[in-house]
Amino acid sequence: MSQIKTSTMGIPSQVVIVGGGTAGWMAASLLQQAWSQESDASTQITVVESEDIGTIGVGEGSTPTLREFFRKLGIAENEWMPKCSATYKCGIAFPGWLNGNGGSPDGYFHPFFSPLDIQTGEAFMRNACLKRRGVNAAVQPDDFFVGAQLSRQYLSPRLNVSLPFEPEYAYHFDSALLGKFLRERAKKLGVQHIIGTVSDVKRTTTGDIECLYLSRDKRPLKADFFIDCTGFASLLIGKTLETPFYSYSDNLFNDSAVAIASPLDNTQPIPSHTESTALSNGWAWKIPLTTRNGNGYVYSSGYQSAESAEKELRAHMGVSDEVEARHIPMRVGSIRQHWNHNCLAVGLSQGFIEPLEATALMLVQYTLTHFIKAHALALSKGNIEHYRTGFNNNVSQTFAGIRDYIVAHYQCNTRTDSDYWIDNRSHNHISDNLAAILQCWDQGGDFEAELCAQKHQQVYPRPSWYCLLAGSGRFPVSGQRIENAHGIVPTPSAAAREYTAKMSHKFQDHRTLLQTMYGKNFISKGFAPQ
């Protein structure tokens, strides 16, 4: 059993975070905020950041949970967004994932569900259940959610009127700039910053990490607890502690990405959504910032070479070979002991699921907030092993739940133009939980009951599952009735669109809001490829 030296208040006296980037500085920020509240605490947090090792730095989208991160730290949007080229995000569009035959849509919009969507959102889910039973009902999620309407009109998710609640939304941002912003803030609050590359790691006789050695300094860097934010290298949790890594390659085919930045047209509206467009052997992202568009292609090297993928992305974007491209190998999967001995893995070192739903920082945040709670309970109850095991199971379950939802996107595609899409739809390497969800949906079972039964296994809420399955057109063939619909009348899409259009008047124009927030700094630096 590993031991943890603690201060008088029961928290580690010395914490070393290896690796900076967004994950490392999020870790420093949350740990400093949580443990500095202990009045007699003397915890010193140190971040070791290498000049020789770059960060991945292309993850520019988030889920709404990131808003809680900034709220927890007391950071206002007008404080961080202008420094990170940030924009607002109402959801994700998925064009090209469906064959679109017969004039049907070739994709759908996945919005963030908010209190404004309760009436039309419930109508949409009721329509979807009717459609599963052979009733002709409108089931395109784009028609029923306010976020989709805001996206169509280039509106922000920020209200221009006073309401008793605010809608859910997320952000797009330059991840390198966000890491820098958090770094400077953390340093002002007392977090130490060391520039150096770890050359060696020493363990104790019990298996804990005792200290690190930096390549330019032979003195040991000791700590009571270590945070591994070394990315795919997984220096501490993987190479040093030899924590097993479990690949998701049987579930998810994609293992590579190529990224190319592109300029914005400053005369045009700024989109308030992420675009994830299906290509021949994967999908391309487009994320609007205030200084550029972030673009990339996530694909499977088993179906396409890096050269071919780059060529396809350039053709999709309409850019020449003169614009620089970055090729990124992806290690898709996760460890199951995220907290092992006196080390916690955060970010890419603990695992990665392709960025289709922008969950990377959500997993960073989830891991850290739950670790802080589990660590406090472990110390107060005097049972490290028990709470560490519970924490590891909890985080691993969250990884699995997100994986299931991502896999479902591929299971529900209807493209027939390449082996990649056909194989993604037909392979049966899916979890029992996802298989049960799809079987229940396909066979007209009680879908609400199935989701309720899996509420502790699945991360995404019921509206998201309905948007994915109904938006993909996953329904029985026309005329096939599974059971009587009990005379329930579907809600017409026109009525839902009328409501969402009316609600959209309560929101601010995206570009105008950003111009007001940024002031004279709005798009002042021009296009700078990252």
Helices (H), 199-284: none
Q: Indicate which residue of 5, 72, 89, 218 is catalytic.
A: 89
As a whole number of angstroms, the distance between CA 15 and CA 325 comes to 37
Give the Cβ contact number of residue 347 at 10 Å: 30
**Residue 10 annotated as binding?**
no
**Residue 21 annotated as binding?**
yes
Q: Are the CB atoms for 365 and 69 separated by under 8 Å? A: yes
- Residue 21 Rama label (left phi>0; alpha psi -120 to 50; beta): left
**Residue 198 annotated as binding?**
yes
- What 3-state DSSP class applies to 246? strand
Within 8 A by CB and 6+ apart from 394, the residues are 370, 374
Question: Which run of H or E residues covers position 503?
Answer: helix 493-504
As a whole number of angstroms, the distance between CA 500 and CA 21 comes to 39
**Residue 489 annotated as binding?**
no
Please calculate the CA angle 324-329-334 and round it to the nearest 5 degrees: 145
Tokens for 253, please give them: 């085919």
Q: What are phi and psi of 21, to 5 degrees?
A: 65, -175
Tokens for 461, please give them: 């809420």
**Residue 28 annotated as binding?**
no
**Residue 22 annotated as binding?**
yes
Residue keyed to tokens 């459609």 = 131
As a whole number of angstroms, the distance between CA 84 and CA 252 comes to 31
As a whole number of angstroms, the distance between CA 18 and CA 241 comes to 14
**Residue 519 annotated as binding?**
no
With residues binned 3-state (H G I as helix, E B as strand, rest as coil), the percentages for the chain, rounded to 5, are 40, 20, 40
89 catalytic residue (yes or no): yes
How long a stretch of residues is the chain? Answer: 530
**Residue 348 annotated as binding?**
yes
**Residues that constitute the known binding site for 7-chloro-L-tryptophan:** 89
Residues taking part in catalysis: 89
**Residues that constitute the known binding site for FAD:** 20-23, 198, 348
**Residues that constitute the known binding site:** 20-23, 89, 198, 348, 357
**Residues that constitute the known binding site for L-tryptophan:** 357
